[in-house]
Amino acid sequence: MVVMSRSETYTVDQTAPKDKFNIVYWLVILVGFGVLLPWNMFITISPEYYVNYWFKQDGQETWYSKEFMGGLTIASQLPNASINVVNLFIIIAGPLIYRVFAPVCFNIFNLSVILLLVIIFEPAPEMMKWFFWTTLGIAVSINFSNGLYENSVYGVFADFPHTYIGALLIGNNICGLLITFVKIGVTFFLYNEPRLVAIVYFSISLSILLVCAAALFFITRQDFYHYHHQKGMEVREKAETDKPSPSILWNTFKNCYGQLFNVWFCFAVTLTIFPVMMTVVSRGKNGFLDKIMSENDEIYTLFTSFLVFNLFATVGSIVASKIHWPTPRYLSLAIIARALFIPIFFFCNYRVETRAYPVFFDNTDIFVIAGIAMSFSHGYLSALAMGYTPSVVPSHYSRFAAQLSVCTLMVGLLTGGLWAVLIENLVDKPDIF
Give me the CATH number covering residue 259. Answer: 1.20.1250
Inside any domain, residue 312: yes
**What average pLDDT does range 13-22 have in this prediction?**
81
> Does residue 351 lie in a domain region?
yes
In a domain, 62, yes or no: yes
Residue 1 lies in a domain: no
Kindly tell me the sign of the dihedral angle through the C-alpha atoms of 398, 399, 400, 406: positive
Residues 133 and 175 in one domain: yes
Residues 55 and 122 in one domain: yes
Task: Report CA Rg, the chain.
Answer: 22
Of the chain, the end-to-end C-alpha distance in Å amounts to 35
Identify any residues that bridge with 60 across adjacent strands, giving them in sequence order: 57
Output the CA angle 358-363-364, nearest 5 degrees: 125
In this prediction, residue 8 carries a pLDDT of: 42
Q: From 320, 266, 331, select the one nearest 3 (Cα to Cα).
A: 331
**What pLDDT, on a 0 to 100 scale, did the predictor assign at position 232?**
86
From start to end of 104-238, where are the E strands? none
Q: Is the pLDDT of residue 10 over 50?
A: no
- Tell me which H or E stretch contains 70: helix 63-90
> Is residue 73 predicted with pLDDT exceeding 80?
no
Convert the pLDDT of each residue in 250-260 to its tens digit. Answer: 999 999 999 99
Looking at the structure, tell me whether residues 149 and 296 fall in a common domain: no
My answer on whether 194 and 273 are in the same domain is no
Q: Is the pLDDT of residue 104 over 50?
A: yes
Residue 280 lies in a domain: yes
Q: What residues contact residue 55 under an 8 Å CB cut-off, 6+ apart?
A: 62, 64, 65, 68, 123, 128, 132
Domain boundary among 240, 256, 273: 240
225-250 burial, b for 16+ CB within 10 Å, e for fewer?
Answer: bebbbebbebbbeeeebbebeeebbe
Q: Are residues 90 and 222 in the same domain?
A: yes
Which pLDDT value is given to residue 252?
94
Judgement on whether residues 286 and 374 belong to the same structural domain of the protein: yes
Residue 4 maps to a domain: no
Q: Is the pLDDT of residue 5 over 60?
A: no
Quick one: 36 and 89 in the same domain? yes
Kindly state whether residues 59 and 144 are assigned to the same domain: yes
Domain shared by 310 and 217, yes or no: no
Instruction: Examine the domain organization and report whether 311 and 219 are in the same domain.
Output: no
Read off the pLDDT of each residue in 403-407 and give the average, rounded to a whole number.
90
Give CA torsion, residues 387, 392, 395, 399, to 10 deg: -50
| Whether residue 253 is found in the same domain as residue 333 | yes
Domain that holds residue 188: 21-240
How many whole angstroms separate alpha carbon 231 and alpha carbon 315?
32
Q: Is residue 11 part of a domain?
A: no
Q: How many domains does the chain have?
A: 2
Q: Which residue among 223, 240, 257 closes a domain? A: 240
Spatial contact of 255 and 323, defined as CB atoms under 8 Å apart: no
Q: What are the residues whose beta carbons fall under 8 Å from the beta carbon of 335, sequence distance 6 or more? A: 262, 265, 266, 269, 381, 385
The residue from 225, 240, 255 where one domain ends is: 240
Nearest 5°: CA angle at 291, between 286 and 296?
115
pLDDT mean over 50-62: 89
Is the same domain home to 68 and 30?
Answer: yes
Helix (H, G, I), strand (E, B) or coil at 57: strand
